[in-house]
Structure 1
Amino acid sequence: QSFFSILTGDDSLRSRPMDRIIEPLRLMGADIYGRSNNSRAPIAIIGQSLKPISYLTPVASAQVKTALLFAAMYAEGKSEITENRQSRDHTERFFEYLSIDFQRTEAGGGKVKISLSNQGNYKARDIIVAGDISSAAYFIAAGLLVKGSEITIVDVGLNPTRIGILEVLQNMGTEIEVLEQKVLANEPVGTLFIKSQALAATEIGGAIIPRLIDELPIIAVLATQAEGRTIVKDAAELRVKETDRITYLVSELRKMGAKIEGQADGFIIDGPTSLRGAVVDSHGDHRLAMSLAIAGLIAKGETIIQNAECISISYPQFEATLKRIIEQAQI
């Protein structure tokens, strides 16, 4: 684009690595500068024409993939973006919905390649956005953990690349009913019915990790109540989210009495454990804050979450929704 831009964000966003997207965009001819040797925001961008790229992403990241595909839409030629593993495919479904031509092929060894060329003008369409399963996950967990609970969540997105948490919960012995399935804007959607039930420990790793990376904090809370040892591995990406999620998930759940050990690429939890109320800290991480809130529902005594205002980053209505559910259930 023919203008100058500066992109920045809050403290957590400015601490996240941006070189994973800056480097490939520079290979496309983008003129980009950032802090810390071009690895952190704020980022300054001098708009200019882009050239196509053939690029293998170092991690399976739908955010990096999407940024490069959007850039490829305006590059002068055909670009090829390859991932080591399939990441969330909302962008590909979005392209299909808008009739944007692209090719998706298996590249061997689990790799997936997407090819896309500049197609000039793009036609707009109305879009209905399904409910976010990452946000629904906290209330799924609440329904499973709080004895006597029954919760119905309407119109939740059930994209196969996003429902890793439902697969894990099935492996943990739960039964969640999926009702009224339909398709909205090329995305599968359904209503979930959840009721409280016993949990069994499980092992999580490998190809499923990109499909539930954001749900791992609330899965950790669920694991504290599961019978046996739950192991999460191959999730080192947790260390470069809004915070080092492994470090702070371990420290805060331990304050509540959880038996959790951090690993380089995940964590180990032994359960079930009776949690106790405590003063905990979100460390500015919205997903950690919401997970601790659900843990507080089953803890004995009062739980106080410091720096909980960060929840508004992804779910401004979380507190009001949780309060309404508690009032209805008369917990």
Structure 2
Amino acid sequence: MSTSDTEPLTQPRKQPAGPSPYQIVADQEKYRVPDAAFGPCQHGASGTLCSTSGKVGRNGRSAAIGATLCWLTCPQLNNIVARFERNGLMPALAARFTTDSALVAAHVSSHGAYESLAMRSLDETQRNFFKSHFIEPEDVSKRKFGNAAVGHEADLKCMHALVAQTICGASNPLGNLCLHYILHLKSELDAMVNAEVEAAEPDVSAPACASTVDTTTPTTVAASPNLKACGVVDRPDGMLQYLDRVGLAYVMTPPMASSDDETKSGGGVASAECCAAAAWIIVTCEGHAPRTRKKHRKN
């Protein structure tokens, strides 16, 4: 019998030597516990800053400092942003980056705002780690940019991360654009709903009829076949057409809260309005509130 015949068919899995540097610097008692909440909405907060939720932490069930610090936690905004992405938003934006140098420059500039947010939010040990591993690593090929932790300053990965970055106070032009566009879609759909109601009114001498549905945070309404068919929410170029109309200068800042109460409670961005608008858009087009998965994490 040869030596190979006595060897096990499968080799034992190699055990890790110990916790990674990403885990060592993290406070294990704060695993996936938000450090701060931003953007108050009906769900508590639209975004959170969480320093202990990197990829190592996700897989190893332990806290790890990651390059992604800002998380979008409003289920309504998560839902509609996911819908935009499913319908080709990110490839459309990537294509736009090949011709729009001003938009690219604005996006690249926002990385500095994100890094400043990290530097003032993390403790000294974590700041030094974040700087040496993500901002100024010895191996420059491992440099990471922005809240989505992309490998090249003009790369795009996730609209959720860019919207979260804006809500958490490190304004990103694409995150701003997405929030502005959600409010714009709400207004556009409101006008279409009102037009349908008025067109169906038999008494033309009667006063103009306003929308008969709740335009704040509805749960059910008769879906409009015309609205559903027009696909106004699902056009990947819709957001870019909106950008062309309003201009880059307009979306360089996020939509600001109109309520003094919201501003005083820590919300500069109009997160409560965007949350309600996101729900209204889906209800108007689909006839029911979006189904949101039960999340077992806050980031």
Same-fold call, TM cutoff 0.5? no
Query: Greater relative contact order: 1 or 2 (C-alpha under 8 angstroms, separation 6 or more)?
Result: 2
Which has a greater percent of helix? 2
Q: TM-score, normalised on structure 2?
A: 0.26
TM-score (norm. length: structure 1): 0.25
Larger Rg: 2
